Structure 1
Amino acid sequence: MPLPRTTSLLAIYPHITSRDRLLLQLLDDHQILTTSQIHRMLFTARRTCQLRLNELAALGLIERFRFSRDGGGSHPWHWTLGHNGRRFQAATHERPEPTPRASNQSVQRLSANPHLAHLVLTNEFFVRLTEHARRHDKARLDRWWSEQATTKQYRTITADGHGLWTTGDTTVGFFLETDTGSEPLGRLVAKLDRYAKLARRGGPRYPVLFWLDNEQREEHLHRVLHGQHTTVAAATAVHTSEPAGTVWLPRGSTGRIPLGALPSDHGQPMADNPNYEDGVFVL
């Protein structure tokens, strides 16, 4: 039976495992994950994942929703923090405890967000990297920042995400631009100016990864990039590709390379950067 929404968190603690804590933190950081994404990151057996998610939902730690498909059937379950999950995360990070009404509104707004599919797709990029790292001992996703976390850190750029990816002894930083085909290519390319400004002020000179809807759009984007004069490295791949693989086509190149081979400059140390104040870049 589901626990009352007013249940003391202390009564829930004995039911929360270390893997559950990791899931709650992922949902706190990235808002939404599908059953498949959670399975590939945290579980071995899909059935075990499904059962555990249902148990966490009964505890009020997570909630789920899904939509019907136009041609019949349903989209996958989408999971987010439930009220008790939001309470738990608030206690963990010393934030004010949310009210049941606030928690309910957060779930409703997320489910009705017109950019929900874009958010799920952006998270899928990092899920695939995490999944790859689970299978390869020398690979590791050291950082996965959401759009909100990246914007808070760097202010003037609007990346969909930021990560640090390690293969062997090499760590590559990157900014991600997830494309669903709805934005003019010129607008995508224009974003490079902000990344260039960040680098000029001593910030990181990370490649900008355009993760594109299809091969045709990728070809068209490279035509636009060809006419741009920028110091920012850019590379492209399509949604069907595995981000950790040899799938990235750098601007001005004809051959694809793996993510770990892209150029990456971590920039001036933050503590020594005059544009870095109170935990953020001030440009």
Structure 2
Amino acid sequence: MPQSRTAGLLAIYPHITSRDRLLLQLLDDHHVLTTDQIHRMLFHARRTCQIRLSELAALGLLDRFRFARDGGGSQPWHWTLGHNGHRFQAAAHNRPEPTARTSRQTVQRLSANPHLTHLLTTNEFFVRLTAHARHHPDAQLDRWWSETLTSKQYRTITADGHGLWSVDDTNVGFFLEADTGTEALRSRVVTKLDRYAQLIRRGGPRYPVLFWLHSEQREEHLHRLLRGKPGDVPAATATHHNDPADAVWLPAGATGRVRLTALPSDHGQPVADNPNYDDGVFVL
């Protein structure tokens, strides 16, 4: 009698570690991570990371793709869920089991997504906070929400992500706007602050909006534009080459840079925008 699909998946379970399960959940939530990003978050030795990723790919839990560099050579491997990874996550979250065709299409669409660079940039921000916390016991990334989950909770804003960051007894929430240098700052980026202001007026959280920018020139330009905006929404900027956990954030209207935990943060009423919130617990 042929082995059922469920039994085939169960046969993989003895090979899945707690670290593997964390990685599968991260990829389920955030779609794609590079080898380097996974190494910094979950492994000590890069070679160990590479070997384990290859083993998970052989089990069908992960899939990968990469592109050629314009100047020669190849970009790093981009890792996402493989078919068995999709099946495992579907079982873990009581979702319908995907077909092999659906899993293939998901990877193909992700690899061809014109916003892939932006997604990796957004994920890199949170990867750096996670990696920083690994080496600083007083720090912790308590929440990492994707754009999709953030939109479900706060339906009128279009943040690239949302997080809660703690150092010692100080906790700050934030919304992330990750910039890859392709959007017009005046017409696309600055106008987003109006939606954050509306969220605050409805009793939602007054979290700082973090503009993580492509270059120092973009940062200077944005601060010139922010001078004409109302101060209802706390906003701060930094550039990609900095560690977001360090004192690199320049608040709008300020002259000195501060750490993330020094930015004003008011949690407001987290149930204000989403009826799926029940006693502070988000219900998917």
TM-score in terms of structure 1 length: 0.94
Deviations 1:27-76 (A, max 9, x none): 00000000000000000000000000000000000000000001001100
Distance in 2 of aligned mates of 1:104 and 1:178:
28
Name 1:241's counterpart in structure 2: 242
Secondary structure (helix, strand or coil) at the match of 2:180 reads coil
Distance in 2 of aligned mates of 1:41 and 1:104:
26
Q: Report the alpha carbon displacement of residue 276 of structure 1 after superposing the two structures with TM.
A: 4.2
Answer yes or no: is the 8 Å Cα contact 1:125–1:243 preserved in 2: yes
Distance in 1 of aligned mates of 2:41 and 2:23:
9
Specify the code of the residue in structure 2 equivalent to 1:55. E
Secondary structure (helix, strand or coil) at the match of 1:143 reads strand
Q: CA RMSD in A?
A: 1.6
Name 1:213's counterpart in structure 2: 214
Distance in 2 of aligned mates of 1:92 and 1:113:
27
Name 1:147's counterpart in structure 2: 147
Name 2:122's counterpart in structure 1: 122
After superposition, the Cα gap between the structure-2 partners of 1:262 and 1:125, relative to the gap in structure 1 and judged at 3 Å, is same
Distance in 1 of aligned mates of 2:231 and 2:112:
38
Distance in 2 of aligned mates of 1:21 and 1:181:
34
- Output aligned runs, 1:156-235, within 5 Å: 156-186=156-186, 187-235=188-236
Answer yes or no: is the 8 Å Cα contact 2:234–2:251 preserved in 1: yes
Answer yes or no: is the 8 Å Cα contact 2:152–2:274 preserved in 1: no
Matched, 1:51 2:51: yes
Answer yes or no: is the 8 Å Cα contact 1:27–1:80 preserved in 2: yes
Name 1:18's counterpart in structure 2: 18
Distance in 2 of aligned mates of 1:76 and 1:29:
21
Secondary structure (helix, strand or coil) at the match of 2:210 reads strand
Answer yes or no: is the 8 Å Cα contact 1:193–1:230 preserved in 2: no
Secondary structure (helix, strand or coil) at the match of 2:96 reads coil
Specify the code of the residue in structure 2 equivalent to 1:74. S
Distance in 1 of aligned mates of 2:207 and 2:82:
35
Answer yes or no: is the 8 Å Cα contact 1:144–1:163 preserved in 2: yes
Specify the code of the residue in structure 1 equivalent to 2:109. R
Answer yes or no: is the 8 Å Cα contact 2:236–2:252 preserved in 1: yes
Distance in 2 of aligned mates of 1:124 and 1:71:
23
Gaps in structure 2 of 5+ consecutive residues:
none
Answer yes or no: is the 8 Å Cα contact 2:153–2:274 preserved in 1: no
* Identical positions, percent: 74
Answer yes or no: is the 8 Å Cα contact 1:82–1:103 preserved in 2: yes
Secondary structure (helix, strand or coil) at the match of 1:203 reads coil
Answer yes or no: is the 8 Å Cα contact 1:145–1:161 preserved in 2: yes
Distance in 2 of aligned mates of 1:79 and 1:175:
25
- Output aligned runs, 1:91-110, within 5 Å: 91-110=91-110
Answer yes or no: is the 8 Å Cα contact 2:155–2:274 preserved in 1: no
Answer yes or no: is the 8 Å Cα contact 1:196–1:230 preserved in 2: no
Q: Report the alpha carbon displacement of residue 230 of structure 1 after superposing the two structures with TM.
A: 3.6
